Amino acid sequence: MARYERGLLVLSLVALLGLAGWASWLDGKAWLAQHLIAHAWQTTLDQGAPQRPWPWADTWPVARLTTPAGKNLYVLESTSGEALAFGPGRLAGGIGSDQALTLAGHRDTHFAFLETLNTGEALTVQFTDGSRHQFQVAAQQVINSQKQPLHIPLDDQQLLLITCYPFDAITPGGPLRYVVAAHTYPDETQRDGATNQGHSKG
């Protein structure tokens, strides 16, 4: 009996170590991915052409979003499952296009900050040409995607951020969406140093 218990204990320990190792591997993978994406973003700014973070990636950084708390989030092209695993994705639009810049992200990772985002706070978006545009949060709303289709304004001076709702939902994939709308400041002229002296670094 004691031998059986020892065997069971060893198996349990091995299983726990395996789980810990798996978690560490996932953390390491996420950390490495962010560094590769940051490097691809910097290379994009330097060379003026899209750069994939790794050769087999089906996405690439197209913008950098800075939250009111100063956290930088690299926006990836597309909202595929792979892209959203590593950062918010661009759904549509942007400065110079015919639609509002529309970004989507997971509620429990990159877009978790939307839960505490307040009207009037500022968000900054840097584009691949080095220019920076500041947006002021104007409104937040919850919509049912099954009853109310998302409307993307035909206005490139707007920013929409979209995530699933509620933020503390146990199971993902419900129909509710939390949508934050922001507008460029009326006197928005803030640009990266690239406007006058070449591309910004980092």
Q: Which residue has the higher pLDDT, 2 or 54?
A: 54
Q: Which residue has the higher pLDDT, 149 or 12?
A: 149
| pLDDT over 70 (residue 54) | yes
Q: Name the DSSP letter for residue 93.
A: -
Tokens of 16: 């726990």
Neighbours of 116 (CB within 10 A): 11
> Which of these ranges, 40-44, 95-99, 162-166, has the smallest mean pLDDT?
95-99
What are the residues facing 103 on neighbouring strands? 90, 161
What's the confidence (pLDDT) of residue 96? 83
| Spatial separation of the C-alpha atoms in residues 112 and 169, rounded to whole Å | 12
Q: How far is CA 103 from CA 42, 75, 93, in A?
A: 20, 8, 9
Q: Which residue has the higher pLDDT, 126 or 22?
A: 126
What's the confidence (pLDDT) of residue 28? 63
Q: pLDDT band at 31, cuts 50/70/90?
A: confident
Q: How many CA atoms, within 13 angstroms, populate the side-chain half-sphere of residue 121? A: 15
| 90-133 residue pLDDT tens | 999 987 888 999 999 999 999 999 999 999 999 999 999 999 99
Burial of 66 (0-12, 13-18, 19+ CB in 10 A): middle
Total-model pTM: 0.79
Instruction: Say if CB 132 and CB 119 are below 8 A apart.
Output: no
What's the confidence (pLDDT) of residue 40? 96
The domains found in the chain, sorted by start residue, are 29-197 (2.40.260.10)
What are the residues facing 65 on neighbouring strands? 73, 125
Instruction: Say if CB 103 and CB 127 are below 8 A apart.
Output: no
Q: How far is CA 122 from CA 34, 64, 66, 87, 112, in A?
A: 24, 14, 9, 20, 16
Q: pLDDT band at 187, cuts 50/70/90?
A: low
SS3 182: strand
28 φ, ψ (degrees, to nearest 5): -65, -40
What's the confidence (pLDDT) of residue 29? 63
| 129-142 residue pLDDT tens | 999 999 999 999 99
| Spatial separation of the C-alpha atoms in residues 59 and 21, rounded to whole Å | 28
Instruction: Say if CB 152 and CB 142 are below 8 A apart.
Output: no
Instruction: Say if CB 76 and CB 86 are below 8 A apart.
Output: yes
Tokens of 118: 């307040």
